[in-house]
Structure 1
């Protein structure tokens, strides 16, 4: 039996490249909240297609792939919410999820799945859900979520509550990021990590970092942002303890990068470069070469501004520059985004 077109919906959500800042912060009432600021990354993401089947019980919901349990919970919750808004009984349906985000690296793969699913269900119902409503559903589906429903806006986000603590500004300062994966890219079981506790002095230190990051965004100060990210990354190592972290920071200091950033719940990390400094391509190659020579898997080069395409690091080889017709394109050459290489 054919399905009416108005019963089908699609949704998409991007990923991120770990965090710039993560810790415990004070909300407007002075209450402590776990919060984070993610580093957005264009190019990869999750896509979902949902077909609702009116007249079927809501528990008759099929999900492919079948192991996407968080996405399945998100679909059920979104069906309940959208049906309520439409003032009709919830029903079952068919959900299909595709994507190209590596799992377990701290790039928000599960949140991307969840948001894409919620958007697909809303589209199938002809309902438009506000970002804060999407965030609430995402937290209910996976206990904590990243602020991917807000697209690329830099915000301090309470990931366990699904709410914005502070909008830091319209956009991040211009940065080029040479991405890598620590620990050979082995997935990190986020839920198995202990929940850190912080005393008053540590919370005040996080608030100082928050103020510095606010200033960096307001003034477009990429160097200051790099300092904040580096301090936050080192703080995160008290929990994650990546053995290559000191090597990564040494590479950054030796090559004059602005700093490092890292996923606080995974293995993805990045060297932060100033795109306005001379010799950008040579500096990118130098970073890729240094990472490779120290056994750290270089993955992708991307930026916080749209004119720089996100490309795998094979486009910036670690060997001598190619000559003639084999020379890699310039950083501002339009390029079809490529997938993160398998790690």
Structure 2
């Protein structure tokens, strides 16, 4: 699928570009009921501005769809997404599918549970669509992303807080227009070592205990209320409860220290990626003494040997849209993606 030499083909077509953000792990993840009462794995991610993936795709008309090159060559999920997106866009425009060249750049650490692979995939789909002069709707992007990587995060929806069925690529519930404003003190558990998600126990929704499903549905209702009322404290309670349930699979040794720090410095709660090592302490930006609380949090993390990463707010803007050429910087092979820490602010 990825030849070593570029086929002879016209190079006059403009390249399409695409961008996708990352996230900072989950606020809530578990097994939920859809509108028909069917069990579904679902999650709500914590949006994060800054790191992201950028893609540039140039079509080679007249070549075989298998004549696809990807730089860096190890982005196999993005390669699958490119082939799927080419087929989708060719069908929509009535043009024959063809090969092309995909180039990816990005600064999302891998293995920390920040959606790096989904970001690559969505940026790729957006770049391919842009090369055809199209802007695919989010549900189509989600469908292609699930086909490319079996499960995906809701990054195609940008900042909207949704309960998302990651294995099916569909929204179970729109929780509201936006999360309450948060200040997040990020950190990396396990020394920032990447987590191999394939080794984690992953029971299917059908295997979930009925009591567990009821517990997750209660957390869903509480999160819905937190978003509707802007209640940061309630959102923090939901995130902490979800992190506690995820801890049974992840077994982070720093978990008790992290929740203890949150209590001492007056954080609203903690959130931990359910498929990685990134974590955050959540603060209400309107709480009195916020700077003092954040400084105390950073000192406490350091005292426990937990590396702080990035302190950010959820109100920062995220660049988005597949056809905004001014947003995406020219992509190139670039250095290999970093495997550990986020840059500290």
TM-score (norm 1): 0.88
1:293 pairs, out of 277, 284, 303, with: 303
**In the alignment, what sits opposite 1:281?**
291
Distance 2:131 2:262 in 1: 47
Instruction: Report how far residue 101 of structure 1 moved.
Output: 0.2
Q: CA separation of 1:186/1:234 partners in 2, compared to 1, >3 Å: closer, same or farther?
A: same
Structure 1, unmatched stretches of 5+, are 308-338
Residue 79 (1) aligns with residue 89 (2): no
Residue 115 (1) aligns with residue 125 (2): no
**In the alignment, what sits opposite 2:332?**
none
Question: Contact between 2:10 and 2:61, CA under 8 Å: does it hold in 1?
Answer: no
**In the alignment, what sits opposite 1:17?**
24
**In the alignment, what sits opposite 1:306?**
316
**In the alignment, what sits opposite 1:247?**
257
Question: Contact between 2:10 and 2:60, CA under 8 Å: does it hold in 1?
Answer: no
SS at match of 2:74: coil
Question: Contact between 2:188 and 2:309, CA under 8 Å: does it hold in 1?
Answer: yes
Q: Figure out how many residues of one structure are paired with residues of the other and give that number.
A: 311
- Consecutive aligned runs of 4 or more in structure 1 exceeding 6 Å deviation: none
Residue 235 (1) aligns with residue 245 (2): yes
**In the alignment, what sits opposite 1:340?**
342
**In the alignment, what sits opposite 2:217?**
207
SS at match of 1:38: strand
Instruction: Report how far residue 4 of structure 1 moved.
Output: 2.7
**In the alignment, what sits opposite 1:178?**
185
**In the alignment, what sits opposite 1:62?**
69
Distance 2:20 2:245 in 1: 29
> Any idea what the Cα deviations from partners look like across 1:125-171, whole Å, max 9, x if unmatched?
11121000000000000000000000000000000000000000000
**In the alignment, what sits opposite 1:224?**
234
Q: CA RMSD in A?
A: 1.5
Question: Contact between 2:13 and 2:59, CA under 8 Å: does it hold in 1?
Answer: no
2:12 pairs, out of 4, 9, 12, with: 4
Tell me: higher relative CO, structure 1 or 2? Use CA pairs within 8 A at least 6 residues apart: 2
Distance 2:86 2:237 in 1: 43
Q: Which moved more, 1:271-280 or 1:94-103?
A: 271-280
**In the alignment, what sits opposite 2:105?**
98
Distance 2:160 2:117 in 1: 20
SS at match of 1:229: helix
Instruction: Report how far residue 279 of structure 1 moved.
Output: 2.1
Distance 2:77 2:63 in 1: 22
Instruction: Report how far residue 274 of structure 1 moved.
Output: 1.0
**In the alignment, what sits opposite 2:331?**
none
Instruction: Report how far residue 277 of structure 1 moved.
Output: 1.2
Distance 1:298 1:291 in 2: 7
TM-score (norm 2): 0.88
Distance 1:261 1:195 in 2: 19
**In the alignment, what sits opposite 1:321?**
none
Residue 135 (1) aligns with residue 135 (2): no
